[in-house]
Amino acid sequence: AQTVTQSQPEMSVQEAETVTLSCTYDTSESDYYLFWYKQPPSRQMILVIRQEAYKQQNATENRFSVNFQKAAKSFSLKISDSQLGDAAMYFCAYRDKAAGNKLTFGGGTRVLVKP
Amino acid sequence: EPEVTQTPSHQVTQMGQEVILRCVPISNHLYFYWYRQILGQKVEFLVSFYNNEISEKSEIFDDQFSVERPDGSNFTLKIRSTKLEDSAMYFCASSEALGGRGEQYFGPGTRLTVT
């Protein structure tokens, strides 16, 4: 079974600075998708960024970018120019391409942004 | 922008009672999901639903749980006889497709409190 691990329960960043969140996963599949979801205090899960495993190029969405290391099974999220609105729980998630559509989530990292 | 909606936002029920959580997926989406998040824990997959039948379910989704799409717009999760450990946030999600990018859009969640 696939597992997703986020080793940082909490990260703190100064406004306008950069923070990197770690995620590792375990799978025997070669083709899959990886996601980062943001969960603000409102609790709604918001998709931040996605990465397809067969694509070597790292995904970027505005201030959010990933560092995808397939051999190492690592998928970190970098938030640049952090804003107060970035404060939230961030969940890394895995989806197998072949076996259904379910998402497997990591335990989450709480991001605190200091003004 | 279309969004997934869920009602109620908060449901309090007594142990042993039946509850129905309601979701309205995005209108052109064909795949529907329920996840739950016990307070302080990771988000867990419960069930996926397509073409009026369950396509995948987790070991959490036992005989106490059922899902239904009673009409063309609603997607419901029923818990027949609630237990204290069913207290959690329940998220509905939908996706347009299976495979491809197949990104799942989440609703705001229903907080279920079993007393």
DSSP string, B5-66: EEE-SEEEE-TT--EEEEEE--TT--EEEEEEE-TTS-EEEEEEEETTEEEEE-TT--TTEE
Are A47 and B44 a contacting pair at CB < 8 A?
A: no
State how far the Cα of A46 lies from the Cα of B22, in Å rounded to an integer. Answer: 19
Mean pLDDT of the residues in chain B:
92
Question: Binning pLDDT at 50, 70 and 90, where does residue B97 land?
Answer: confident
Residue B100 has pLDDT above 70, yes or no: no
Contact A70, A76 (CB under 8 A): no
Pick from B18, B38, B24: which is nearest to B92 by CA?
Answer: B24
Chain A residues whose CB is inside 8 A of the B45 CB are 102-104
Chain A residues whose CB is inside 8 A of the B103 CB are 35, 47, 50
Pick from A65, A62, A61, A70: which is nearest to A24 by CA?
Answer: A70
Nearest CB partner across the interface for A100, out of B44, B55, B101: B55
Average pLDDT over every residue of A42-60: 89
Mean pLDDT of the residues in chain A:
93
Are A33 and B45 a contacting pair at CB < 8 A?
A: no
Chain B residue whose CA is closest to A43: B108
Give the C-alpha distances (Å, rounded to integers) separating B94 from A111, B46, B115.
Answer: 27, 13, 30
Residue B64, amino acid: Q
At residue B96, the pLDDT reads: 86
